[in-house]
Amino acid sequence: MRDVNHQGRWRAETDVVVQFFDLDPMQIVWHGHYVKYLEIARCALFDQIGYNYEEMKQSGYAWPIIDLQIRYAAPAVFNQRLKVSAEIVEWENRLKITYVISDALTGKRLTRASTTQVAVDGVSGEMCFVSPAILFEKLGISEGR
């Protein structure tokens, strides 16, 4: 398990505009909607490395999230433009992605998060204790490096 950037190859950013239906009665984004914002950034990241959900399925693996951590520093509000970044920081035995949600105009960080996913064999349903070769291929690295 490594914590490296690889010159941004494994990092993606996307913008999200807070919609009215994402607000709670306090007129701030309901905490559960942040998971949706993370998913949008994660999908952009998977598209970038050429291993989106459809490609995962075709490769014979599912990658369920087994852990989610979110730390809220400041609330997001209606019509606020957010920048959501996602970066792969671990890949050998699991796929760990870290996220930052910030105000797109000021750069103020609002939320930090991480997700951990594991490969599950699509036929047997068994969890893989080492990431499959297809992930290393998509990341452009040699296995175990």
Q: What would the pLDDT profile of 13-55 be if each residue is shown by its tens digit?
A: 999 999 999 999 999 999 999 999 999 999 999 999 999 999 9
Domain assignment present for residue 93? The answer is yes
Domain assignment present for residue 78? The answer is yes
For residue 127, give the nearest of 55, 61, 51 by alpha carbon: 61
- Mean of pLDDT values over 114-123: 97
How far, in Å, CA of 6 to CA of 12, rounded? 12
Domains in the chain, number: 1
Domain assignment present for residue 133? The answer is yes
| Predicted local confidence at residue 78, as pLDDT | 98
Domain assignment present for residue 62? The answer is yes
Domain assignment present for residue 1? The answer is no
For residue 119, give the nearest of 69, 68, 66, 70 by alpha carbon: 66
84: CATH: 3.10.129.10
pLDDT of residue 1 exceeding 80 = no
Residue with tokens 């007129």: 27
Backbone angles phi, psi at 4, to 5 degrees: -135, 160
| Predicted local confidence at residue 145, as pLDDT | 47
How far, in Å, CA of 110 to CA of 60, rounded? 36
Domain assignment present for residue 110? The answer is yes
pLDDT of residue 116 exceeding 90 = yes
Domain assignment present for residue 144? The answer is no
| Predicted local confidence at residue 9, as pLDDT | 73
Domain assignment present for residue 145? The answer is no
- Mean of pLDDT values over 106-123: 97
| Predicted local confidence at residue 142, as pLDDT | 73
Amino acid, single-letter form, for residue 121? D
Are 111 and 22 in contact, with CB atoms under 8 Å apart?
A: no
In terms of residue numbers, what domain contains 85? 6-139
| Predicted local confidence at residue 143, as pLDDT | 59
